[in-house]
Structure 1
């Protein structure tokens, strides 16, 4: 992993980077979230992880106070009878919550992060990368998306939800680390750096970004070959016009971007009030901030 790739957008931020809270819906001990945790830390950010103790995929925006555990966390990453919440024995920045993904990010924002950051909150919430895509019809049910929506709507913190089409759950200590986990971590770090480098406020109010990576296979194993395309979550046949870009006022759907091949990544501006596509004026803000990173579908 070339250092210049990860650090490309970081110098504007200063040596300390940003305070980033990480979560997901696949569990705190899932390999994808741990690979990204390592990449974000290597890029100079101050990262706190707060994710569910077990796989909570498909739980959407469910939120319930955590209950004490009786069995070990996923991949035996915490012992039985560990209580309702816990932390890694040697790293208090890695935390689990025995409840839904949204509950875990709520605890991260309200409890774990302020303890580590002397009362300060996160500047950005990063969810995922999810094991598997979160496109259109899957979006309302995704816990990874639920984390980003809660953060941006309820907590008022800008958020990004990352998902990767290369699936298959793996433990945090898998060795050797497969290319898919490393590549997704590199890409997510690059995108996170770009959002932060564009300056605060990082995203419009009540907006989250839904980012879907294609499979890491064939020609798509080199992060430099991937292209970022502004997209929309749901088809827009009867909706208002999108921001005008690439010669059109209708953005391609996430599915069309991913299905087009060519190592294309869909970047949708989500409305945190209903998990659909945000209006054109909010898309325009994101386009202005990230225009140098984005490319056209054709």
Structure 2
């Protein structure tokens, strides 16, 4: 059993869960907001591994189950987020929770991602959806700060809900355009979705935003991904092939359709002076170079090469 940020992860009555004053605080804040006065008999908690799952793991892992219990106590609990009330406050209800470290741990042991929640009622229904879609109120991302929105993106990514991941990553970039984290998330998602031009430009913006902060490891990562895109899939920079401009969300064009800085250009000269990308462009395909004017307004014009 270990305690971090007033949260304890322990085996309780055959399941592993997160308990503590911060869990109580999340539950009490939601209960107070919606007028729930009944306090459940069991202590507030977030179930990490259910009884059935733990029994199966005990059988599968045999003598390694003690290691699982020990590793569970080391899971990061700093980033546990409440999204609000789910269910019926007059019946079965809960707090919808994002806890990515918990789901990363579950996947490590072959378990599916879990819809984490804190049960507020005395009864529970384990067959009910307890995800973001179960929220009583309309979910508005504009109420979320950067860190919470980032963890929402990671949550959907862990659940392989890639369409939703892309929507929230775009929202991150639009609301927090000066955060390198926003563009790095978008770049990785775009690359996985085979949107290589969008990925390249988002990685480039990440490098620009990181330039004054250092973090050479992330810049090197972005550089390698850009080079991979240019080697196999697309032309450099804002030189677009047929239909590639469609990859760029309209609300993000003013951030991405800009000339690459000397910082990025010099970076590739230094790193890849002995290696050149080998992307073979169809000679019959016209290329377009859109641009954004100095006032930040995108003009739907291009120079065909």
TM-score by length of 2: 0.25
Q: Which has the larger radius of gyration?
A: 2
**Which structure has greater helix proportion?**
2
TM-score by length of 1: 0.25
RCO (CA 8 Å, sep 6+): is it higher in 1 or 2? 1
